[in-house]
Amino acid sequence: MGYKVVVAGATGNVGREMLNILAEREFPVDEIAALASRKSLGTEVSFGDKTLKTQDLDTFDFTGWDMALFAVGSDATKIYAPKAARAGCVVIDNSSLYRYDPEVPLVVPEVNAEAVDGYAKKNIIANPNCSTAQMVVALKPLHERAKIKRVVVSTYQSVSGAGKAGIDELWDQTKGMYVPGQEVDPKKFTKQIAFNVIPHIDVFMEDGSTKEEWKMVAETKKILDKSIKVTATCVRVPVFVGHSEAINIEFEDFLDEDEARDILREAPGVMVIDKRENGGYVTPVECVGDYATFISRIRQDGTIDNGLNLWCVSDNLRKGAALNAVQIAETLGNRCLKKG
């Protein structure tokens, strides 16, 4: 026996990637339904070697379905996730709506798989923010060895994190720079994104940080350890896919860079590419389509007693969203539902 699985938001970047990864990882599916908004009704999407026609999320009956992977944004999730959960279908939600709800587990399986066990309170499990997911995968094994006190992170986030509109704007603006009369003004982003970087993701908070930065702080504390101090600066860069992070870590105990490298090499979900030579590191271009969180540039920080620096890169549509959701589904099946 396998699972009856729903993918809501199946025509979007993340929804399509969810279907791809379910097929790639041979998730035990008995039946699958691809849901979309009414305007996308009937659109065809791929699931392995099959083609699925999207059904209407608004009228879909979740009764008898085991899991629903949601990639529809917070507004639609607020309407349809409780409906699915009440029908007995466990929702794995990619939006930010439930991440900070104390009754909803926020899960990165390599870090806190056991949190999945609390799913039954609301029949909902939250997927973290893309930039948080890859960072905590890197931090967890180091935290177990030397206990992290403080993290300073600067992100370099691709435009696909802002959806199809973000990808289109970078593409069109870049073309427009070279073709007179085809210039494109900023619409999705607050300033020109082509050949530029924008230190602003999501809305501004009262303290001057952005909500994206606040998410990284709150989610790291919920997933990994509430005692860790985190400060973040989140920047949008003209890259189509793949988020990068420069991470500075202060530990309670000394951790040598060589030991850190060995620990990370053995850590689940991590791939270390760290040669001190030209090209001996990973950039977003190389990470696209891969499951791993890549770590490079591991080195001591001599300005503090117990400090390390590292460079962290991952495909934000995969580990930052769709892959993590499928891994949660796998963990839920193995630990709790136990079918397939």
Identify which of 122, 82, 107 has the alpha carbon closest to the alpha carbon of residue 319: 107
pLDDT computed for residue 3 by the predictor: 97
- Contact yes or no for 292/314 (Cβ under 8 A): yes
Tell me the two tokens of residue 55: 């059904």
pLDDT computed for residue 340 by the predictor: 62
Q: How far apart are CA 43 and CA 53, in angstroms?
A: 6
Task: Name the stretches of the chain with pLDDT < 70.
Answer: 340
Domain with CATH 3.30.360.10 in the chain: 131-158+197-314
Domain with CATH 3.40.50.720 in the chain: 3-127+321-336
Q: Tell me the binding residues.
A: 11-14, 39-40, 99, 157, 160-161, 236, 316
Q: What is the pLDDT of residues 47-81, one digit of tens each?
A: 999 999 999 999 999 999 999 999 998 999 999 99
Identify which of 24, 63, 73, 18 has the alpha carbon closest to the alpha carbon of residue 45: 18
Q: Tell me the binding residues for phosphate.
A: 99
Residues pairing with 329 in the sheet = none
From residue 154, alpha-carbon distances to 174, 231, 281, 309, 318 in Å are: 25, 9, 17, 11, 20
State the catalytic residues: 130, 243
Q: Tell me the binding residues for substrate.
A: 157, 236
| Long-range CB contacts for residues 167-174, cutoff 8 Å, separation at least 24 | 167/13, 167/240, 169/193, 170/194, 170/238, 170/240, 171/240, 174/238
Identify which of 83, 86, 90, 84 has the alpha carbon closest to the alpha carbon of residue 107: 90
pLDDT computed for residue 319 by the predictor: 95
- Contact yes or no for 116/104 (Cβ under 8 A): no
The pTM of this model reads: 0.95
Q: How far apart are CA 59 and CA 71, in angstroms?
A: 17
Q: Tell me the binding residues for NADP(+).
A: 11-14, 39-40, 160-161, 316
147, 149, 154, 159: CA torsion to nearest 10 = 60
- Contact yes or no for 295/264 (Cβ under 8 A): yes
CATH topology of domain 131-158+197-314: Dihydrodipicolinate Reductase; domain 2 (3.30.360)
Q: What is the CATH number of domain 3-127+321-336?
A: 3.40.50.720
